[in-house]
Amino acid sequence: MPEGTDDNKPKFRIIESTPDREARSTEDATHAPGVNDEAIQLKVSQLEQEHRDLDQAIATMEERMPYDRLTLQRMKKRKLALKDKITTLSGSVLPDIIA
């Protein structure tokens, strides 16, 4: 074993999940010319379904004891991010007009 290496140190790896990449690409696509409202509505419905699924998973996890608080926290953050994305996309289809 070479000197200067410490095998006792924890090794961490950052992994980016697929849904986050999809959310970012959707955000960029909403500002591109030629994106129609039907495609945005379809994406909103997909995000709403994922939001509902996540809500159910969170509720199920909270019912079971003990549960992993870190996983639960990450799920709740993802759920909030989905809600923000849904609101943003819905606003691009139906702009907020004060009459």
Write the pLDDT tens digit of every residue in 36-69: 888 999 999 999 999 999 999 999 998 887 878 8
Whether 17 has a pLDDT exceeding 70, the answer reads no
Name the average pLDDT for the chain: 75
- E runs forming strands in 1-99: none
Domain ranges of the chain: 38-90
Between residues 49 and 8, the one the model is more confident about: 49
> What share of the chain has pLDDT > 90, as a percent?
38
- Return contacts of 54-57, CB within 8 angstroms, 24+ apart: 54/78, 54/79, 54/82, 55/79
Write the pLDDT tens digit of every residue in 22-36: 444 444 444 554 458
pLDDT for residue 91: 84
pLDDT for residue 26: 46
